[in-house]
Amino acid sequence: MKTQNNRAWLFVLPVLLLVAFNALIPMMTVVNYSVQETFGNNLFFWQGLDWFEGLLRSDRFHAALGRQFLFTGLILAIEVPLGIAIALAMPRQGGWVSVCLVLMALPMLIPWNVVGAMWNIFTLPDIGLLGYFINHVLNIPYDMTQNPIAAWVTIVTMDVWHWTSLVVLLSYAGLVSIPDAYYQAAKIDGASNWAVFRYIQLPKMKNVLTIAILLRFMDSFNIFTEPFVLTGGGPGNSTTLLSIDLVKIALGQFDLGPAAAMSLIYFVITLLVSWLFYTLMTKDDLN
């Protein structure tokens, strides 16, 4: 008979406290706000699920959600293949490896608001390097403060510039872990380059790619700082992503109830998509 005691709980307690203060309690506050109306002076009125219902029926929310999925879809569609391609092209050994790795890591080291500011200046039509080049050398009218398409191209390009490296580094880690014997066997079996990629490299990269896609999904779905600094959600509402809209509602209009309800829905969507994706990608590993 095993001795049983509850001492283990004591060891879990510090983590529990930490999680309580940085996640659970703030989260419950949001839940609290989401079912009440407040007028300041700490006056609260019970509202039930009205905020949720209103939000789910609102065109404004649908539009922001749509833009959010479009943005995340676009950057994943670009960053994942591009990242894999760059990782495949990088040298596996020799002095250039560290040079490539450092170059790749650089964009990720820059703080998010700085990235936004950099691209803001970079794309200014008259004095920005890129903006001037496109407008006055290529003679293509390009001004992201006026044109929604230009704004979209800019935020997507900025995100690709900032985060493709993450996919590159993770894919590269997956690639270098493949033993030489696999490539040698493939050579002997007469496999084409495509077959090597499809049957050796891609399966070996699957786990790291799952993580890369998951991280990029969550990060881009919750993105705020860079587009906020760059476009502020404009022109009009054309680049108002979910988080930007949320901040507008919460801090601009001070509608804490609807904002809290939106936060929760936002959270559930992120969680659900991540869970679905992860479960689908790893279900083969179980059997």
Partner 1 sequence: MAQITLSKLRHSYYPNPKQADDYALKMIDLVLEDGGAYALLGPSGCGKSSLLNIISGLLVPSDGRILFDENDVTTVAPSARSIAQVFQFPVIYDTMTVYNNFAFPLRNQGVDEARVDVRVREIAEMLEVTDLLDKRAAGLSPDNKQKISMGRGLVREDMNVVMFDEPLTVIDPHLKWKLRSKLKELHQRVKVTMIYVTHDQTEALTFADQVVVMQDGEVVQVGTPVELFERPAHTFVGHFIGSPGMNILSCDVRGSVAYFDGIEVPLEGAIKPDLNGNTEIGIRPEYVSFGTQGIAATVRKVSDVGRHNVVTVMVGDTKIAAIVKGETPAVGDTVQLVFEQDQTRLYVDGWLASEKGAGQ
Q: Please give the residue ranges that form the binding site for partner 1 (CB under 8 A).
A: 179, 181-182, 184-185, 187-192, 195, 199-200, 203-204, 287
Minimum distance, C-beta of residue 191 to partner 1, in the bound complex (Å): 6
210 vs 274 by CB, closer to partner 1: 210
> Which residue is listed with tokens 């059997």?
287
**Could you give the count of Cα atoms lying within 13 Å of 234 in the half-sphere of its Cβ?**
10
Neighbours of 117 (CB within 10 A): 14
**Strand partners of residue 45:** 37
CA angle 232, 238, 242 (to 5 degrees): 70
Q: Say if CB 207 and CB 225 are below 8 A apart.
A: no
List the one residue out of 23, 31, 25 whose CA is nearest residue 263.
Answer: 31
204 vs 210 by CB, closer to partner 1: 204
SS3 assignment, position 63: helix
Angstrom CA distances, 161 to 16, 26, 173, stand at 38, 33, 20
Minimum distance, C-beta of residue 184 to partner 1, in the bound complex (Å): 5
Minimum distance, C-beta of residue 286 to partner 1, in the bound complex (Å): 10
Angstrom CA distances, 158 to 65, 149, 235, stand at 20, 14, 17
Minimum distance, C-beta of residue 190 to partner 1, in the bound complex (Å): 4
Contacts of 131 (CB under 8 A, 6+ apart): 122, 123, 124, 125, 142, 143
Integer Cα distance of 30 and 34 in angstroms: 6
Minimum distance, C-beta of residue 182 to partner 1, in the bound complex (Å): 5
Minimum distance, C-beta of residue 204 to partner 1, in the bound complex (Å): 8
Rounded to an integer, what is the distance from CA 144 to the centroid of its chain?
A: 22
69 vs 199 by CB, closer to partner 1: 199
Minimum distance, C-beta of residue 187 to partner 1, in the bound complex (Å): 5
